[in-house]
Amino acid sequence: MTRLLREDVHVHAASDAVYALLRQAEQRARWLGPTVAELAQHGDMLAFRIALPLRSERAQLALAVDEAPRLLVYAANGAPTALSAVTWVLRAEGAAEVHVSMEAGYTPAAGLLGWVLEEALHRPHRRQALRDSLWRLKLLAEGTR
């Protein structure tokens, strides 16, 4: 069963500039949160590991939608992965202001222990990983990082 997490941030920068940070492979390591490790990029493919308490999840995602400067979607390309998709939606609110939403679809660990760990540990850590990444993106886009 796929679950979704969504977080938002307001960035004082042009939507084109924020979108460019999302798309530039060389910038991703600067704004992805510390939970994301072993980031590998091959063209429009991303592979990485998400470190959670008592669990590590691998993800392999391919660029699925690229509608600059408002929508970017990376989705699982058929490989078995806990993370099914990551979506960024950018809504320009002015010449130098943009609202950024990040959504992650994932499959939690199965079984009773998996459910307990998901609710007690993993989901809060997943949410914090999204928050960390968005905050770091905001700081980078605003030139404060």
The secondary structure element, H or E, covering residue 48 is: strand 45-52
Domain range for 136 is 3-141
Q: Under a CB-based contact definition with an 8 Å cutoff, are residues 93 and 99 in contact?
A: yes
State pLDDT tens for residues 81-96.
889 999 999 999 999 9
- Mean pLDDT, the chain, rounded, equals 92
Write down the pTM of the prediction.
Answer: 0.91
Q: Kindly indicate the confidence band of residue 145, based on its pLDDT and cuts at 50, 70 and 90.
A: low
Q: How far apart are CA 123 and CA 108, in angstroms?
A: 9
- Domain containing 68 — which CATH number? 3.30.530.20
Q: How far apart are CA 129 and CA 102, in angstroms?
A: 11
* Mean pLDDT, residues 60-71: 96
* Mean pLDDT, residues 61-76: 96
**3, pLDDT greater than 90:** yes
Q: Under a CB-based contact definition with an 8 Å cutoff, are residues 48 and 36 in contact?
A: yes
Q: Under a CB-based contact definition with an 8 Å cutoff, are residues 126 and 106 in contact?
A: yes
How many domains, in total, are found in the chain? 1
Other C-beta atoms closer than 10 Å to the C-beta of 39 total 14
What's the confidence (pLDDT) of residue 75?
96
From the list 34, 58, 56, the residue with the least C-alpha distance to 47 is 58
